[in-house]
Amino acid sequence: MRWTMIAACALAFAAGCSGNKANSGTDATATATVQAQPAKNMNYKCPECGYGSMTAGDCPKDKISLVKVGNYYCPECYMSDSLPGKCKMCGVEMKKME
């Protein structure tokens, strides 16, 4: 019968109950394992050398901004945009980062 109470507590806690309960049980089922994205599937890539990263930033080799996969980038100045078209700076066709 105690399990129902524990479950109710867990639900209340998950629902954002303000009660700061002391650790009554060590059955930590509340820690939901968030599925990490596959390491192979990089979110950002360097348009110059193809260096991949999970987060936005600069390529450590080329010192240019990484382009988000699925976005478009200028092959001349590496400016990126979420939409296809011509680079505002160079006027050349943007390429899609795959």
Nearer to Zn ion, 87 or 97 (CB): 87
How far apart CA 49 and CA 59 sit, in angstroms, is 9
Q: Please pick, from the candidates 9, 10, 69, 77, the single residue that binds Zn ion as defined by CB under 5 A.
A: 77
Instruction: Find the shortest distance in angstroms from Cβ 42 to Zn ion.
Output: 12
Report yes or no: 76 and 92 within 8 Å, Cβ to Cβ. Answer: yes
Instruction: Find the shortest distance in angstroms from Cβ 52 to Zn ion.
Output: 10
76 near Zn ion, judged by CB under 5 A: yes
How far apart CA 64 and CA 29 sit, in angstroms, is 43
C-alpha dist (Å) from residue 16 to 11, 21, 73: 9, 12, 43
Q: Which residues bind Zn ion (CB under 5 A)?
A: 46, 48-49, 51, 59, 61-62, 74, 76-77, 79, 87, 89-90
